[in-house]
Structure 1
Amino acid sequence: MSELRTWVTDLGLVESPRWHDGRLYFSDWTAHEVIALGADGAHEVVARVDSLPLCSAFGPDGRLVIVDAARGLLLRLEADGSLVTHADLTGLARGWNDIVIDGRGNIYVDRVGFDMLAGEAFALGSVVHVAPDGSARQVADGIAFPNGMAVTQDNSTLIVADSYGNKLMGYDIEADGGLSNGRVWADLGDGAPDGICVDAEDAVWYADVPNRRCVRVREGGEIVQTIGLDRGAFACELGGDDRSTLFITAAEWRGMPEMVPPGTGRVLSAQVAVPGAGWP
C-alpha cells in the first residue's frame, strides 16, 4: 500500500487539484476559495468566488480559468490578482461543473443536467467546448453525471468521468475542438469516478468518494493500482518536479444535504511509478 503524506488539514469540500509552476492549486468549495500550495507546505488563497461547484484549469498561456458555476461564467485570473470574464455560458445551460483545457487552448466544461441540491428530477448532462475566442457550443451529451475530465498527452482524446454511470467516457477531439466517437473508455464496475488525471502511459487515475480510494485504470477497464483512504477521494492530480506525486483532495462524505462536515477536508499525496502527462 502506498504511504500517504498529509499536506493540509481542516478544510471543507476540497476539489479540482491542478499542478502548475511548482505549486498545487485546489479549491475549497466550502470556503469558496482557490488555494495554492507550495512544496514547503505553505499555502495561500489566490482567488475567492462565491460558487459551488468551483473548478479551475490552467491554459497554455499559464493563466488560471475558474468556473463560476453560480453565474454561468468562466473567469480568468490576471497577474494582478483580478478576475475578468473569459467566457459567458449563460445562454447555453446551467449546472456547470468541471473544466479542462488542452494543449491547444480548447476549453471543455461539463454540466450536470439537474440540481441535486434543490431536489430536481434526474436529467442527463453534457459537455461544452469554449474556443480561444470565447465562443461556446455543446459538443457531447447523454452523460448521466459528468464529473472530472482529462485530455491525453497527444491532444487526441477527452476522457470524462461519469459518476452515476460508473464509467469513463472517451471522445476523439476534432481539429476544431469538437468531439466525436463517444464510447465507454473503461467500465468501472462499482467505481464512482469523480476527479481524474492521466499519466504518461495514458492510464487514468480516478478519485472515488463512496469507495474511499483512488484507482489507476487502463483503457478497457484493467485496474492497475488502488490507493485506499479513510475518507472520500474527490479528485487527484499528478504533480511534483517529476510529476510522479499523486495529490489527492479528500474529505468525509455524509451524503445530501450535509455533504462534507467542516474541517474534514485534506490534501494528501502518494508517490507513484508513472509520471503525469496530458491535462490537467
Structure 2
Amino acid sequence: MAPEITVVLEGYTYFECPRWHDDRIWVSDFYSYQVVSAREDGTDVRVEAKVPGQPSGLGWLPDGRLLVVSMRDQKILRREPDGELVVHADLSNLVGADVNVNDMLVDAQGRAYVGNFGFDLMNLAQVETADLLRVDPDGSVHVVARDLHFPNGMALTTTGELLVDETLGNRISAFSIDADGSLGERRDWAKFGEVPGGPAMETTLAEIVLAPDGCCIDGDDSMWVADALGGRIVHVAEGVGVIGEIAFGSGVFACGLGGSDGRTLFVCAAPDFNEHARKVATEGKLLSIRLEPLD
C-alpha cells in the first residue's frame, strides 16, 4: 500500500535542504530568498533569515548559531544571536565564477562540508567535475575531495564516514574522515550506473540511471535519497543499491528525517528544477510521510 503523503507547506517557489532542529522543520526557499521554519504539521511558520544571494544548505554550529549557504555569491553566512547575518566563509576563490555552491553538512565539531554544481547548470553549460570543500569553525576553507560529479546531498554514518551524493555521477561516494576533518580516498557506497561520459548536458542526462540529490541517513545507516530526475525517493543500502522507493506525482529534490519521534520523512517537491520556471511560480511544496519504526 502506498504511504500517505501530507502537505506541510505550500505556495513557495523551490524548497531545498530540509533540516529538523529545535523541534521544527527548517527549509530554504530558493527564489523567495528566505529560510523558513515551522512545526511538523506546518503551523507557526517563521522566516528565520533572508538571503538575497539565494539560500541552500543549512546547519548549526555547536553553540547553536545557524549557518546557511548563499549560493550565488559563493558564501556561507552565519546568523548571530541578535539575528544579524554575517559572512562566515567566502568560497569564491575555490569555485568558478558562474558556479553555484549548494548543499551543506555541518558536523558535531562545526565543520561544514559544502558541495557545488561545478558548472553553470541552469544555462546548460558543458558538464565539469567539482571540488568538495570543508569550512572549519574559524571560517577557513579547504578542498577535501576533487573531481566529483556534482557533489550534492551528504550524510554521516554511525561509523563516521561521509556519504556524498554525486547527482551527475550515478553514484553515492563514501569517505573516511580524519581527526582534522580531511577525507580519505573516495569509494563507491552505492553505484546506479556508469559515470556519464559528457561533456554535453544532454548526453549526461541521457546516461543518468538515478540522480541522487538531497538525502538523509536512517538509524540503520541506510539512506533516503531524492532522485532528481525520477520523481521518487529511493531507499538505498550500502553495496546493495535501491531496496525500496516512494513515487510522487511531481519532481522531488531533497528529504530529511525529523518529527517528534524521528520517523517523519520531509520531502521537498516542485514540478521541476528549472530556475527560469520556478522563479515565476509558487508551486513548491514541503511534504511529509510517516515511516515505519526501525526494527
TM-score, length basis structure 1: 0.92
**Equivalenced residues, count:** 274
Cα separation, 2, equivalents of 1:123 and 1:243: 37
Which SS does the other structure have where 1:242 is aligned? coil
RMSD of aligned residue pairs (Cα, Å) = 1.8
The alpha carbon displacement at 1:259 in A equals 5.1
Q: Which one-letter code corresponds to 2:29 in the other structure? A: D
| Matched residue, 1:181 | 185
| Greater share of residues in helix | 2
| Matched residue, 1:115 | 120
> Where in structure 1 are there 5+ consecutive unaligned residues?
276-280
The alpha carbon displacement at 1:257 in A equals 4.4
Q: Percent sequence identity over matched residues?
A: 38
| Matched residue, 1:250 | 269
The alpha carbon displacement at 1:55 in A equals 2.2
Q: Does 1:70 align with 2:72?
A: yes
Residues 265-276 of structure 1: pairs in structure 2 closer than 5 A:
265-274=284-293
Range moving further from structure 2, 20-29 or 32-41: 32-41
Identify the match of residue 105 of structure 2 among 100, 104, 107. Answer: 100
Q: Which one-letter code corresponds to 1:2 in the other structure? A: P
The alpha carbon displacement at 1:253 in A equals 0.9
| Matched residue, 1:211 | 230
Which SS does the other structure have where 1:180 is aligned? coil
Q: 1:157-199 CA deviation, whole Å, 9 max, x = no partner? A: 1111111112111111111100112011101342111101101
Q: Which one-letter code corresponds to 1:117 in the other structure? A: M
Would the alpha carbon gap of residues 118 and 40 (structure 1) be closer, same or farther in structure 2, given more than 3 Å must change?
closer
| Matched residue, 2:166 | 162
Range moving further from structure 2, 156-165 or 256-265: 256-265
Which SS does the other structure have where 1:178 is aligned? coil
| Matched residue, 2:204 | none
Which SS does the other structure have where 2:162 is aligned? strand
Say if 1:215 and 1:227, in contact at 8 Å, map to a contact too: yes
Say if 1:254 and 1:260, in contact at 8 Å, map to a contact too: no
> Where in structure 2 are there 5+ consecutive unaligned residues?
194-208
The alpha carbon displacement at 1:232 in A equals 0.7
Q: Which one-letter code corresponds to 2:104 in the other structure? A: I
Say if 1:129 and 1:139, in contact at 8 Å, map to a contact too: yes
TM-score, length basis structure 2: 0.87
Runs of 4+ more than 3 Å apart: 254-257
Would the alpha carbon gap of residues 183 and 274 (structure 1) be closer, same or farther in structure 2, given more than 3 Å must change?
farther
| Matched residue, 1:147 | 152
Range moving further from structure 2, 167-176 or 87-96: 87-96
Q: 1:177-223 CA deviation, whole Å, 9 max, x = no partner? A: 00112011101342111101101111111011221111110111332
The alpha carbon displacement at 1:274 in A equals 4.8
